[in-house]
Chain A
Amino acid sequence: MNVKGIVHKYGDNIDTDVIIPARYLNTADHQELAAHCMEDIDKEFIHKVQNGDIMVGGWNFGCGSSREHAPIAIKAAGISCVIAKTFARIFYRNAINIGLAILECEEACDKIQNGDEVSVDFDSGVIRNLTRNETYQAEPFPDFIKDIIRSGGLLNSLKK
């Protein structure tokens, strides 16, 4: 599985309240959630983002609430993959369970700049920065998790 897109880069400790503020949690509609994704720290994000784009964070991405609305909003906004140095654990689970691709790679997060074009190969964990002609290696997922992602999320994997 491969994706390619333009990077939207943010800092450390991007929390679920800025990914999708709780004032919008009175709905579970994916597109409605996407319309408010990141608005408290980046009002332009939802206007700039193109289908397939990539989000890059720092340490502890997705910290805070357990709201699955956060990875849902990111995915529904068109983001194909989130790369961070580390993910907060509930966000990590939720992303896998709903089939939003994520990778942990410190070097990629340090070197990739906002607006770079990047491609990601999930099977190998190789991240290519096409703008800077650099390559970074992320730890690929264990097979157990690859299985969930390949099935299209946790519930589909349980039905097998």
Chain B
Amino acid sequence: MAMTMTQKILAAHAGLPEVKAGQLIRAKLDMVLGNDITSPVAINEFEKAGFTSVFDREKISLVMDHFVPNKDIKAATQCKQCRTFAHRFDIENYFDVGKMGIEHALLPEQGLVAPGECIIGADSHTCTYGALGAFSTGVGSTDMAAGMATGEAWFKVPSAIRFNVTGELKPYVSGKDVILHIIGQIGVDGALYKSMEFTGPGLKNLSMDDRLCIANMAIEAGAKNGIFEVDEVTMAYIHNRVKRPVTTYAADPDAVYEQTIEVNLSEIQPTVAFPHLPENTKTFDEIGDIPIDQVVIGSCTNGRLSDMATAAEILRGKKIAPNVRCIIIPATQQVWKDCVRLGYMEIFIDAGCAVSTPTCGPCLGGYMGILAAGERAVATTNRNFVGRMGHVDSEVYLASPAVAAASAIAGKIASPVA
């Protein structure tokens, strides 16, 4: 029977010749991920269930990224619990302050996730690694606990929507605009329980950072996973990062898709998602004068080097508008170091931005940039739910780094395209 990319990876990891949509399977895992918010719950469950060993100390990643450096005593206690667990089981990929980065920028960068692998993470944006042609999905802490103990997880095999990508992005249009455009089209539950599979002649025009950004927000359309066909861009990215042999999977030519959606990159415009859902998208012909109080450039969606480069290009020699706070958060230590090396840091500071060490902080209203009642932010993050970045009466507008940087200078939501 013909299978999608996702179904092929799941079949291989379940030890089955084939699987079909709706089938319940148990699959072997290549990586189990948790962070400082979700791991403590998983560790509690792991210990309560009486497990005394992990399935593979090299296939677990614990990344302290949400509330670190510790925002308060409770956060410090949670990190301490993770640290103790990591030491007890000699977890190879434990990333603490000074080595950590935002998990979904860090794992691909460090070569810990690779094409054809089956990955779960107790963080909804674990779907990011589909950019590399992996099956990767977010789960909860109990799944993480079971995964750490047994190296397996249960899945219902998803059906899929195919996105046939053509064309080429215009200047100042990026992966973020593509995924916001798609979510605006299909809605926040438009791909519920399904795979979003990206293929087509336009893929070669999407950089790995663009793909990581697009796959990252598959969950914002309700999808189980987003996945890109493996090509030369993928292989170039993993070269010198992934040291183990990889297996790649392509969909069968006659694989069944519930729907095929055409995505012509050439037609995509800078796109902004208005409060309070990522599907409330508008392009600049529909956006009037909307003054803002804060800009955040960073997160697992847009904290990579190309995002920093775009922001630096727009901010070079400019000043942030007087009433705006602009917070820039390179997603990993490596991205931070590259920002210094390439002179972006000086550009950001001269423009009047605050630059933070890696953290998820403001994206989820944790710390490091919380909004007061009535305040408005343009953010390169992934969610704009009620109260997401602070007070329930604050607003988050989701956009690309180019739109965010242009808005920081203008003091209102602004297009980077002159």
Q: Do A and B bind each other?
A: yes
A interface residue numbers (CB < 8 A to B) = 13, 15, 17-18, 21-23, 25-28, 40-41, 59-60, 63-69, 71-72, 86, 88-90, 93-94, 97-98, 142, 144, 153-156, 158-159
Q: A63-B222, A64-B383 are in contact. Are A26 and B142 (CB under 8 A)?
A: no
Mark out the residues of chain B between 29 and 50 whose CB falls within 8 Å of any chain A CB in the assembled complex.
37-38, 40-41, 44-45, 48-50
Q: A23-B366, A59-B189, A158-B146 are in contact. Are A68 and B41 (CB under 8 A)?
A: yes
Residues of B within 8 A of A65 (CB): 123-124, 364, 383
B143 contacts chain A at the CB level, 8 A cutoff: yes
Sorted nearest first, the 6 A-B pairs with minimum C-beta distance are: A94-B140, A26-B74, A68-B140, A97-B142, A22-B364, A155-B49
Q: A65-B124, A86-B189, A155-B49 are in contact. Are A21 and B365 (CB under 8 A)?
A: yes
Residues of B within 8 A of A15 (CB): 383, 385-386
B40, B66, B392 — most chain A CB neighbours (10 Å): B392
Residues of B within 8 A of A156 (CB): 49
Residues of A within 8 A of B388 (CB): 17, 22
B78 contacts chain A at the CB level, 8 A cutoff: yes
A98 to B44, CA, bound (A): 13
Contact B154 A27 (CB under 8 A): no
Residues of B within 8 A of A23 (CB): 365-366
A15 to B222, CA, bound (A): 11
Residues of A within 8 A of B383 (CB): 15, 17, 64-65
Cβ-closest chain B residue relative to A41: B386
A153 to B145, CA, bound (A): 12
Cβ-closest chain A residue relative to B146: A154
Contact B41 A28 (CB under 8 A): yes
Mark out the residues of chain B between 353 and 383 whose CB falls within 8 Å of any chain A CB in the assembled complex.
364-366, 383
Contact A13 B277 (CB under 8 A): yes
Contact A155 B38 (CB under 8 A): no
A18 to B126, CA, bound (A): 21
Residues of B within 8 A of A17 (CB): 364-365, 383, 385-388
Cβ-closest chain A residue relative to B46: A155
A155 to B150, CA, bound (A): 10
Q: A26-B71, A40-B387 are in contact. Are A66 and B45 (CB under 8 A)?
A: no
Residues of A within 8 A of B198 (CB): none
Mark out the residues of chain B between 112 and 146 whose CB falls within 8 Å of any chain A CB in the assembled complex.
121-124, 126, 138-143, 145-146
Residues of A within 8 A of B139 (CB): 66, 90, 93-94
Residues of A within 8 A of B277 (CB): 13
Cβ-closest chain B residue relative to A63: B188
Contact B142 A66 (CB under 8 A): no
Residues of A within 8 A of B150 (CB): 158
Contact B192 A89 (CB under 8 A): yes
CB distance from A40 to the nearest CB of B (A): 4
24 pairs, CB–CB < 8 Å, chain A vs chain B: A13-B189, A13-B277, A17-B388, A25-B37, A27-B78, A28-B44, A28-B78, A40-B386, A41-B392, A64-B124, A64-B385, A65-B123, A65-B383, A68-B41, A68-B140, A69-B37, A88-B192, A94-B141, A94-B142, A97-B142, A142-B24, A154-B142, A155-B45, A155-B49
